[in-house]
Amino acid sequence: MTVPRVSIQTEDFDLGAEVAALCRQDPRVGAVCTFVGTVRDRNDGQRVSTMELEHYPGMTEKAIEGMIDEALRRFDIFGARVIHRVGLLQPLDQIVLVAVTSAHRGESFQACEFLMDYLKTQAPFWKKEQTPEGARWVDARVSDDAALARWGIQASNA
């Protein structure tokens, strides 16, 4: 069974199971780099009790698939897996997983950071936070011109 490269889902994920599935039956793999992002209880100095993430089905997956294709062109990696949760999330919940396999650690680290920088700055997600003052919509994309410049990516949310 082939592991999908991109999953946008409401349910939680199991890091160990995801890494095992990505590496399964590939004896070339000598390195796996993973990043897991979680919900914080604060943003912009305010307490956050819940966060709700939304996306456009089909569009989001296509955009992330394109960045995985770009990572495969730029780095000597074997595979990548991105899971991003949507829906209502609580502090400490897992939000995102980026996992990359390669023969050596350097390429995995670079590709993982490249993909995470893309997700944080360019991926089409929208979030609503519940704070003591009520609900507020915030841009899920963080402007990080230095991260984008490092990879030669033009900001699309400016």
Residue spans of the domains in the chain: they are 10-147
- pLDDT one-digit tens code per residue, 12-35: 999 999 999 999 989 999 999 999
Q: Do 10 and 87 meet the contact criterion of CB atoms below 8 Å apart?
A: yes
| Second CATH level (architecture) for the domain 10-147 | Alpha-Beta Complex (3.90)
Query: What angle in degrees, to the nearest 10, is found between the helix axes of 105-121 and 59-74?
Result: 150
- pLDDT one-digit tens code per residue, 28-54: 999 999 999 999 998 878 899 999 999
Query: What is the pTM for the complete model shown?
Result: 0.88
Q: Do 26 and 101 meet the contact criterion of CB atoms below 8 Å apart?
A: yes
